[in-house]
Structure 1
Amino acid sequence: MKLGVIKAYVLKELTEIVRSRLIIMVYLLPTMVLVLFGYGIRMEVTGARTLIIDNDQSHYSQLLVSKFEHSKYFDSTIEKRGEAKALDEIHKAKSDILIIIPESFEKRLLHGQSTQIGVFVDAAFPMRGSTMESYVKGVVLDAASQMFERLGGNAPTISINQRTLFNQAMRDEDAIVPGLIGLVLLIAPAILAALLIVKEKERGTIFNFYASPLSKGEFIAAKLIPVFLLHSINIFILFLWATYLFEVPFRGSFLLYWLTSELYLMISLSIGMLISIVTSTQIVAVVLTVIVTIIPGFLYSGILMPISSMIGVSRYEAHIFPVMYYNHILYDVFLVGEGLASSKTVMYIVILAFLCFFLC
């Protein structure tokens, strides 16, 4: 392999990328994806439109109502109306939660009798509905504990000394942004790698390489080295966006982050190169790359759903795609900080190395 020839073609490719303005896509696309999805995806539900019907109008019912009013998770409205009309508010998408406090609420509490509170939750989106339901339960249990103390209850109680680990503030950014880095470094390099090779096939200029003394290995190296170098800079840019713009903590080894990212970048380039083999036009190459990278990237990266919670075939499918292994390492270096002390992290690095060797 002639290094001088490769260097000349690499400079030619870099010049062509700048001249064709693909350089804008190299750095604009990853940043746009990170910023748009980093701010756009929200697991936490705040300001849920809550309609409360207090049929009791007692001291303890107002105590329960005040718990909802002083919580950031609920945008509470207290009204006096029938249950049927209140349910219409949810049917018309004007309310997310309906809470009905019965008339004998305080009386039953004072007499030590069990009482029920009606709660209706809009669960058209199951994940959001489940989250809102858990918030309601938490507020009701907190209010019940306070009521029990005021009533002079002396039954033994269990207090929970809760500590959250790795994401103490429970910020969505800390959970989503590291995963988005894995998604971006899978999609953008693969698209560019596929385009650079398919472009030669579409224009017919690839026959110039056939007629030249350039070997296949030198041709592929000349095409992929510029993409690799350009996106290697993206590794640092995305890190800066994550830590300074989104203020995601970084608790692990930067060397581990950088080396595994370069390894993952090679896998992404290999996927783009494989797609360029089976396509002959740039549009088809882009569409196929998007299908192969974005769909598995979202489903099996752990951004929206933990891999451990998947069941059946989906759990095995997740282990086919490299994004699952890389994102585990990302969450470790950003939030956990175990690094090579974790046997699972070491195993995933070995798997990424095997995938890189196999695809290359």
Structure 2
Amino acid sequence: MKFSVVKAYMLKEFTELFRSKLIIMVYLLPSMIMLLFGYGIRMDVTHARTLIIDNDHSHFSRMLTAKFEHSKYFNAKVTQMSEAEALHRIKQAKADIIVIIPASFEKRILYGQHSEIGVFVDGAFPNRGMTMESYVQGVILDTAQSVGGSLGRQSGMISINSRNLFNQAMRDADAIVPGLMGLVLLVAPAILSALMIVKEKERGTIFNFYASPLGRGEFLAAKLIPGFLLHSLNIFILFLWATELFDVPFRGSFMLYWFAAEIYILISLSIGMLISVITRQQIVAVVLTIIITIIPGFLYSGILMPISSMAGESYIEAHLFPVMYFNHIIYDCFLSGTGLASAKTVEYLGILIIYATLLLVLGSTLLKKELK
């Protein structure tokens, strides 16, 4: 490899990046995605609009009502409206939950009889509806434990002492922000590298490469190294956003995080390079890159849905994209801290290295030094 020639091409690429203002996108786009989605995506449900129809007006019914009123997950309001009117409120999107306490609630409990509490949940959005339903069940179960304990029954003698590992406070930022880093480092480098070769095709300057003695490997190295060096800085910028701005803990090895992120950036650049090789227009390259990176970055990264809960074709597709493997390492570095002691982390790191190697070889093979 002629390093002097590669160096000259690299200087040309850096000059083009500064001249075309693409250098701004290199650092602005990742930070914008991190900030917008980091603050915008929320899996938790708080202040759900709750209507409580208390038909009993007893001590136990008020105890249950107080549990809802003193929880941040509910914006509870006790009302005497009819059941039909309350359901109409949900249809009008003015309420999220309806809790109906029967008239004989306390009497049945005192006599040890079975009592039912009516609960209606807005299930227009299934995930949100299931979350609100679990919150309601938790409040009712907690109240049942308290009532059983006050009556000296066995149900009050059983308590659940649970602890949440890795994300003790159940913060959305701890679950979302590390996954967003996998999305950011997949999208931004790929878009940049997707423009590297195709823009020369549009301008006609690609003929300089066709006529020069520069090899395909040297040409690709000159194209990828500037983007690789520039986006390597984003590894540290995103780390600072996560730890300082979003207060996400970091419990693992920084060297593992840095090495995995560098390999992942190389994968992202290689994806954009492949798209740049097979396309002839910049707009086509950008659109194709966005489709290939953003959609899998959300669906198969584990941010919104655990990979273990997928089945069939979706489970197979998740394992075809590198974002799943990288995000596993990122979550380990930030939340778990197991590092290379985990066999799966070592396996996924090896898969990323193989992925990068195959993409680079494939790009070098598809790049033809000739006019089609």
TM-score normalised to structure 2 length: 0.95
For 2:293, give the aligned amino acid.
Answer: T
CA–CA distance in structure 1, aligned partners of residues 34 and 285 of structure 2:
23
C-alpha displacement of 1:155: 5.8
Would the alpha carbon gap of residues 168 and 155 (structure 1) be closer, same or farther in structure 2, given more than 3 Å must change?
closer
Structure 1 gap ranges (5+) = none
The within-5 A match list for 1:63-78 is: 63-78=63-78
For 1:340, give the aligned amino acid.
Answer: L
Point out the more displaced range, 328-337 or 3-12.
3-12
Tell me what 1:281 maps to.
281
CA–CA distance in structure 2, aligned partners of residues 87 and 129 of structure 1:
15
- How many pairs were matched up? 360
CA deviation map 1:93-143 (0-9, x unaligned): 100000011111111111111110000000111110000000000000111
Q: Secondary structure at the match of 2:266?
A: helix
C-alpha displacement of 1:278: 1.6
CA deviation map 1:44-100 (0-9, x unaligned): 100001011111111111110000000000001111011111100001110000001
Root-mean-square deviation (CA, aligned residues, Å) is 1.0
The within-5 A match list for 1:328-339 is: 328-339=328-339
Would the alpha carbon gap of residues 91 and 319 (structure 1) be closer, same or farther in structure 2, given more than 3 Å must change?
same
CA deviation map 1:260-280 (0-9, x unaligned): 111111111110111012211
C-alpha displacement of 1:204: 1.1
Is 1:50 matched up with 2:38?
no
The within-5 A match list for 1:55-94 is: 55-94=55-94
C-alpha displacement of 1:16: 1.1
Tell me what 2:153 maps to.
153
Would the alpha carbon gap of residues 114 and 228 (structure 1) be closer, same or farther in structure 2, given more than 3 Å must change?
same
For 1:293, give the aligned amino acid.
Answer: T
Q: Secondary structure at the match of 1:76?
A: strand
Is 1:197 matched up with 2:197?
yes
CA–CA distance in structure 2, aligned partners of residues 319 and 152 of structure 1:
53
Is 1:16 matched up with 2:9?
no
Would the alpha carbon gap of residues 359 and 158 (structure 1) be closer, same or farther in structure 2, given more than 3 Å must change?
same
Q: Secondary structure at the match of 2:353?
A: helix
CA–CA distance in structure 2, aligned partners of residues 321 and 69 of structure 1:
45
The within-5 A match list for 1:307-322 is: 307-322=307-322
The within-5 A match list for 1:188-337 is: 188-337=188-337
CA–CA distance in structure 2, aligned partners of residues 246 and 18 of structure 1:
31
Kept in 1, the 8 Å contact 2:146–2:156? The answer is no
Kept in 1, the 8 Å contact 2:183–2:298? The answer is yes
Q: Secondary structure at the match of 1:147?
A: helix
C-alpha displacement of 1:359: 0.8
CA–CA distance in structure 2, aligned partners of residues 309 and 114 of structure 1:
35
Q: Secondary structure at the match of 1:98?
A: strand
CA–CA distance in structure 2, aligned partners of residues 331 and 130 of structure 1:
25
CA–CA distance in structure 1, aligned partners of residues 132 and 215 of structure 2:
61
Is 1:126 matched up with 2:130?
no
Would the alpha carbon gap of residues 50 and 289 (structure 1) be closer, same or farther in structure 2, given more than 3 Å must change?
same
CA deviation map 1:279-336 (0-9, x unaligned): 1111100100001111111111000011001011111111110100000000000000
CA–CA distance in structure 1, aligned partners of residues 234 and 288 of structure 2:
23
For 1:181, give the aligned amino acid.
Answer: M
Kept in 1, the 8 Å contact 2:144–2:156? The answer is no
The within-5 A match list for 1:134-173 is: 134-154=134-154, 157-173=157-173
Kept in 1, the 8 Å contact 2:96–2:121? The answer is yes
For 1:174, give the aligned amino acid.
Answer: D
C-alpha displacement of 1:151: 2.3
Q: Secondary structure at the match of 2:157?
A: coil
CA deviation map 1:127-171 (0-9, x unaligned): 100000000000001111111222232567322221110001100
Q: Secondary structure at the match of 2:179?
A: helix
Q: Which runs of 4+ in 1 moved over 6 A?
A: none
Q: Secondary structure at the match of 1:250?
A: coil
Q: Secondary structure at the match of 1:77?
A: strand
For 1:143, give the aligned amino acid.
Answer: T
CA–CA distance in structure 2, aligned partners of residues 262 and 323 of structure 1:
13
Tell me what 1:109 maps to.
109
Tell me what 1:99 maps to.
99
Structure 2 gap ranges (5+) = 361-372
CA–CA distance in structure 1, aligned partners of residues 34 and 293 of structure 2:
16
Would the alpha carbon gap of residues 154 and 6 (structure 1) be closer, same or farther in structure 2, given more than 3 Å must change?
closer
